[in-house]
Amino acid sequence: MKRLISLLLVLALAGSFAGCGKKADEKADENLIGVAMPTQSLQRWNQDGANMKMMLEEKGYKVDLQYANNDVNTQIQQLENMITKKCKILVIASIDGSALTEVLRKAAENDIKVIAYDRLLMNSEHVDYYATFDNFKVGVIQGQYIEEKLGLKENPGPFNIELFAGSPDDNNALFFNGGAMSILQPYIDEGKLVVPSGQTEFSIIAIHAWNSATAQARMDNLITAHYADGKKLDAVLSPNDSLAIGIITSLTNAGYGTPEKPYPIITGQDCDKANVKAMIKGQQSMSIFKDTRTLAAKVVEMVEAIMKGEEAPVNDTETYYNGVKLVPSYLCEPVYADINNYKELLIDSGYYTEEDLQI
Ligand code: BGC
């Protein structure tokens, strides 16, 4: 009997210690949100991370914000840490959307919900929501800008264009390209638009890791191989600003930017400060403006709904198939900025100050 009582006592004590520990643990972690961003090397992700952290903290959440230096393994480790720390929700802007299947499985095993941020997470059923801008539309707007500035509807042409695409491990890159080509391909088929390099395949025009230097090197090669004879280059389809910077550097080095040899139409995306300055200097023609404040605010709404056990707001359930499931998505609206509207869009809205854009 004595032994039984002491055993019961020990058990009761152990139980209450475990209970204490758990309570303290739960308290510490009960509103921790993990935010995994790909890299600090591009302006936009710094803004995305900072906005998310600020807005979540304003709502009383704790935030574990990590940048992975564009290294997939670093991002996996960071996510594993977040799971160990018992984050309630993971918000992930991936580097390689297909490389996280295993760590997402671990998150699900630990009842952690997952929101794909800006880039879709592929090959996993454990992606609860996706918040992004309408990526196909981004490409459509870039294509339409080229169509309008070259007057493709009314002019017989032909006009020369070179095509670039984003990183092949980023699902967005395919959507941007698909959107732009939905506008440009008919003109190529008709012969109004000519690609002198003949390079139109996604796999050939894609720039790994959205790297500026790689884009610059490819543009150098295109100029040497296809434009050395003085052939006019009328437009370059660049899916984003980091590629546009490399393309502009290459063109400038090759003597573009003079009255005899003006810059072609060059598209972009993100409205990075350096690129808006390039627009002001007449080097880049346009950039898609994706207000990161809007995206962050939407993700915060999603986080709040999930924490309350409610459905998060979505406006698209048909577009983003990740290889396993259609991920319920919220698509924000992209618009374009160019020399004519950038002040209103970027300065009047408080996104940048005048000093930010001083050249
Ligand atoms: C984003 C773009 C960005 C690119 C490179 C894409 O997934 O949607 O806004 O320019 O990645 O970071």
CATH (domain of 201): 3.40.50.2300
**Are 192 and 94 in the same domain?**
no
9 lies in some domain: no
Roughly what angle, to the nearest 10 degrees, separates helices 212-222 and 241-253?
40
Q: In whole angstroms, what is the distance from residue 325 CA to residue 86 CA?
A: 25
**Are 42 and 162 in the same domain?**
no
3-class secondary structure for 212-277?
HHHHHHHHHHHHHHHHCCCCCCCEEECCCHHHHHHHHHHHHHCCCCCCCCCCCEECCECCCHHHHH
**Are 188 and 245 in the same domain?**
yes
pLDDT at residue number 23: 45
Is the distance from the beta carbon of residue 44 to the nearest atom of ligand 1 less than 6 Å? yes
**Are 259 and 222 in the same domain?**
yes
pLDDT at residue number 29: 63
Give all strands of the β-sheet with 159-163 in edge-to-edge order.
Answer: 193-194, 159-163, 235-237, 265-266
**Would the pTM of this model clear 0.85, i.e. be above it?**
yes
Q: Which atom of ligand 1 is nearest to the CA of 242?
A: 10
40 lies in some domain: yes
**Are 252 and 144 in the same domain?**
yes
Asked if residues 269 and 142 have their Cβ atoms less than 8 Å apart, the reply is yes
Per-residue pLDDT of the chain (359 residues; tens, 9 = 90+): 555 555 544 544 444 444 444 444 444 568 999 999 999 999 999 999 999 999 999 999 999 999 999 999 999 999 999 999 999 999 999 999 999 999 999 999 999 999 999 999 999 999 999 999 999 999 999 999 999 999 999 999 899 999 999 999 999 999 999 999 999 999 999 999 999 999 999 999 999 999 999 999 999 999 999 999 999 999 999 999 999 999 999 999 999 999 999 999 999 999 999 999 999 999 999 999 999 999 999 999 999 999 999 999 999 999 999 999 999 999 999 999 999 999 999 999 999 999 999 98
Q: In whole angstroms, what is the distance from residue 33 CA to residue 78 CA?
A: 13
Is the distance from the beta carbon of residue 94 to the nearest atom of ligand 1 less than 6 Å? no
Roughly what angle, to the nearest 10 degrees, separates helices 171-190 and 135-150?
30
Q: Which residue has its alpha carbon closest to ligand 1 atom 5?
A: 210
Closest CA to 47 of 244, 345, 271, 245: 271
Best of 44, 134, 141 to mutate for ligand 1, by most ligand atoms within 8 A of CB?
44
Q: Which atom of ligand 1 is nearest to the CA of 118?
A: 8
Q: In whole angstroms, what is the distance from residue 196 CA to residue 227 CA?
A: 8
* Residue in this structure with the two tokens 């319920």, named with its chain if needed: 328
357 lies in some domain: no
Is the distance from the beta carbon of residue 170 to the nearest atom of ligand 1 less than 6 Å? yes
**Are 317 and 283 in the same domain?**
no
**Are 97 and 177 in the same domain?**
no
Q: How far is the CA of 172 from the centre of ligand 1 (A)?
A: 7
Is the distance from the beta carbon of residue 270 to the nearest atom of ligand 1 less than 6 Å? yes
**Are 142 and 270 in the same domain?**
yes
Which run of H or E residues covers position 337? strand 335-338
Best of 120, 135, 170 to mutate for ligand 1, by most ligand atoms within 8 A of CB?
170
7 lies in some domain: no
Structural domains of the chain, count: 2
Q: Which domain holds residue 208?
A: 135-290
Q: What residues form DSSP beta bridges with 129?
A: 115
25 lies in some domain: no
Asked if residues 104 and 121 have their Cβ atoms less than 8 Å apart, the reply is yes
Is the distance from the beta carbon of residue 291 to the nearest atom of ligand 1 less than 6 Å? no
Question: Which of the listed residues 228, 258, 290 is the one where a domain comes to its end?
Answer: 290
Best of 43, 69, 118, 177 to mutate for ligand 1, by most ligand atoms within 8 A of CB?
118
Q: In whole angstroms, what is the distance from residue 359 CA to residue 357 CA?
A: 6
Is the distance from the beta carbon of residue 298 to the nearest atom of ligand 1 less than 6 Å? no
Asked if residues 267 and 142 have their Cβ atoms less than 8 Å apart, the reply is yes
195 lies in some domain: yes
Burial class (CB within 10 angstroms; exposed 0-12, middle 13-18, buried 19+) of 216? buried
Q: In whole angstroms, what is the distance from residue 193 CA to residue 174 CA?
A: 21
Q: How far is the CA of 263 from the centre of ligand 1 (A)?
A: 24
250 lies in some domain: yes
Best of 37, 142, 269 to mutate for ligand 1, by most ligand atoms within 8 A of CB?
269
- Peptide linkage before 328 cis (omega within 30 of 0): no
Is the distance from the beta carbon of residue 240 to the nearest atom of ligand 1 less than 6 Å? yes
Is the distance from the beta carbon of residue 172 to the nearest atom of ligand 1 less than 6 Å? yes
**Are 154 and 121 in the same domain?**
no
Q: How far is the CA of 13 from the centre of ligand 1 (A)?
A: 54
222 lies in some domain: yes
Best of 95, 136, 240, 320 to mutate for ligand 1, by most ligand atoms within 8 A of CB?
240
**Are 283 and 154 in the same domain?**
yes
Q: In whole angstroms, what is the distance from residue 245 CA to residue 247 CA?
A: 5
pLDDT at residue number 5: 52
**Are 274 and 171 in the same domain?**
yes
Q: In whole angstroms, what is the distance from residue 345 CA to residue 276 CA?
A: 11
SS3 307: helix
Q: In whole angstroms, what is the distance from residue 285 CA to residue 279 CA?
A: 6
**Are 104 and 251 in the same domain?**
no
pLDDT at residue number 26: 46
Which run of H or E residues covers position 148? helix 135-150
Q: How far is the CA of 239 from the centre of ligand 1 (A)?
A: 9
Is the distance from the beta carbon of residue 118 to the nearest atom of ligand 1 less than 6 Å? yes
Is the distance from the beta carbon of residue 164 to the nearest atom of ligand 1 less than 6 Å? no
pLDDT at residue number 30: 80
